[in-house]
Chain A
Amino acid sequence: DIASQHHDEL
């Protein structure tokens, strides 16, 4: 979902 997608960056 969106959350995991954009929390893959530092």
Chain B
Amino acid sequence: MNIFRLAGDMTHMFSVLVLLLKIHTIKSCAGVSVKTQELYAIVFATRYLDIFTSFVSIYNTFMKLVFLGSSFSIVWYMRYHKAVHRTYDREQDTFRHWFLVLSCLLLALLIHEKFTFLEVLWTFSLYLEAVAILPQLVLLQRTRNIDNLTGQYIFLLGGYRGLYILNWIYRYFTEPHFVHWITWITGLVQTLLYADFFYYYFLSWKNNKKLN
């Protein structure tokens, strides 16, 4: 464990907690894409399949449970909680995300480190996570302005993988033959997808005006 990875995990945890808090307290999911939340639930479900078979540490297992629990409860709130579901913007959240799932699955079957069930699904989860934010970013461009909790959620979510990149650089230089091209490339693509969001988020913060 290094400071970059810990910072990354904390940033990631705060992002899901910010969103869960927003939905739970003000009973609103305005501006939030349920498709991105569903993709993230699939990402965690397919990445943490080994949660019971391979024990890494208490921290690792605890965080896996936090991410699984939060992503599935956010989807549950947005799909089945009456008050929250009413604030869901169905007309605008129209990204065909099942195509993302299918193409990532095909890609994982083609490009992976080892052709085993767990490894292919783990690779699939990396590909899917890289593009999971797309429905949310598309929805963002359609809704005029977004409330700052949703903005903070996206900012933290985009930042966590950027911190992971620093963690991979650190591990590359400190651990012999720590090389994982698939993880690195997907992590880089994922972070780059947030580039223009970060730009506008920074502008709104600098000029102290609403993000739109």
Which size class do A's interface residues fall under? under 10
Could you tell me which residues of chain A, from 1 to 10, have a CB within 8 Å of some CB in chain B?
2-10
Does B56 count as interface, using CB distance less than 8 angstroms? yes
Check B12–A10 contact: CB distance below 8 A: yes
Residue of B nearest to A9 (CB): B5
| Cβ of A3 to closest chain B Cβ, rounded Å | 7
Cα A10 to Cα B178 in complex, Å, equals: 16
Which size class do B's interface residues fall under? 20 to 34
Interface residue from B54, B64, B114, B119 paired with A10 (Cβ < 8 Å):
B64
Indicate whether A10 sits within 8 Å of B63 (C-beta atoms), given known contacts A2-B113, A3-B114, A5-B178.
yes
Check B164–A9 contact: CB distance below 8 A: yes
User: What residues of chain B lie closer than 8 Å to A10, measured between beta carbons?
Assistant: 9, 12, 60, 63-64, 67
User: What residues of chain A lie closer than 8 Å to B64, measured between beta carbons?
Assistant: 10
Cα A5 to Cα B50 in complex, Å, equals: 13
Does B183 count as interface, using CB distance less than 8 angstroms? yes
Contact with A along B149-188 (1 / 0, CB 8 A): 0000000000000001001000000000010100100000
Binding site for B on A (CB under 8 A): 2-10
